[in-house]
Amino acid sequence: MKFSLLPLAAAVIACQSPLIAAPQDDQYLLGPDSQVQPGVPQGKVTQMPAWDQSKLYPGTTRDWWIYVPAQYQADKPANVMVFCDGGGFVKPDGQFRAPVVFDNLIAKGEMPVTIGIFINPGVFPAADGKEKPRSNRSFEYDSLGDLYARFLLEEILPEVKKSYNLTDDPEGRATCGNSSGGICAFTVAWERPDAFRKVVSHIGSFTNIRGGHVYPALIRKTDKKPLRVFLQDGRNDLDNQFGNWPLANQQMAAALKFAGYDYDFKLGEGTHNGKHGASMLPDTLRWLWNAPATK
């Protein structure tokens, strides 16, 4: 069966936790670097044909997009940043507006020329078209192990490389996500530091959804990996059967500090949504791409 270009984004969004903002979140607003600025060259966002031939997640299909900055030159390898739940990050009027932030920062020389790959989680289409697809998001994002890293390395990056010149330098490759996408972004780099060394996690689910609560313990007892990790959470984030998000993120930050990692942690006042992370995204990216390496 072929399901190319199905508008799956809405169905995927429907399967995720609500990103409901509360009064504590109202202080977090987008700054000028997250708004389209006159005179700044705009990169191009292309929606790719739905990825429905995955061998590692057989039977799934997913929407995805590629952002290519205006400054991209085919003879120069571009950096890469992969966004989990990419449909939300790529929206021009969305919470994060990552392509707009990229445009502004790249134009000012505050981050390198970077191709953004925005990927939604897979869904299993229902044979009966009247029924909703089944989300594969939790399986893909919350599971520990190297499967999602392999999905990027064996399926998505080779597909992007058919059209664009991407760097193979792991220092030039980053992952980013919110909530379960946040732990997924970390897991990719944790499993494959040879391929990805920069991580941005907002409201990351380092809790026991599928065993992710063990990361602080693993970080403390494992040889330091050459990663740069940015964590954000809010004091009013979730506390449920899976765990307590602010405590889990504080445990992550403490473990990264103990093990000597190159990391930053911003604990705000927000709830389980992207507003704080979105408001900081330009600063986060400046730090991620430019801070002097401490390895």
- Contact footprint for other proteins (CB under 8 A): 10, 13-21, 23, 26, 57-60, 88, 91, 93-95, 124-128, 131-132, 134-139, 142-143, 209-211, 240-242, 273-275
**CB nearer to other proteins: pick between 74 and 127:** 127
- Residue 60 Cβ vs other proteins, minimum distance, rounded to whole Å: 7
Residues with Cβ < 8 Å from 256, sequence gap 6 or more?
219, 229, 231, 263, 265
CA quadruple 209, 211, 212, 217: dihedral sign:
positive
**CB nearer to other proteins: pick between 62 and 198:** 62
What are 100's two structure tokens? 């707009």
**CB nearer to other proteins: pick between 121 and 170:** 121
- Residue 273 Cβ vs other proteins, minimum distance, rounded to whole Å: 6
- Residue 93 Cβ vs other proteins, minimum distance, rounded to whole Å: 6
What is the maximum alpha-carbon separation in the chain? 54
Local structure of 286: helix, strand or coil:
helix
* H/E run at residue 187: helix 180-191
d(C-alpha 205, C-alpha 84), whole Å: 13
d(C-alpha 22, C-alpha 40), whole Å: 33
Distance of CA 137 to the CA centre of its chain: 13
**CB nearer to other proteins: pick between 19 and 78:** 19
The length of the chain, given as a count of residues: 295
- Residue 241 Cβ vs other proteins, minimum distance, rounded to whole Å: 4
CB burial of residue 31 (10 Å; 0-12, 13-18, 19+) = middle
Number of separate helices (H) and strands (E) present in the chain: 10, 12
**CB nearer to other proteins: pick between 127 and 293:** 127
d(C-alpha 273, C-alpha 259), whole Å: 29
- Residue 213 Cβ vs other proteins, minimum distance, rounded to whole Å: 13
Secondary structure letter of residue 212 according to DSSP: G
- Residue 149 Cβ vs other proteins, minimum distance, rounded to whole Å: 17
- Residue 77 Cβ vs other proteins, minimum distance, rounded to whole Å: 32
**CB nearer to other proteins: pick between 170 and 274:** 274
**CB nearer to other proteins: pick between 126 and 218:** 126
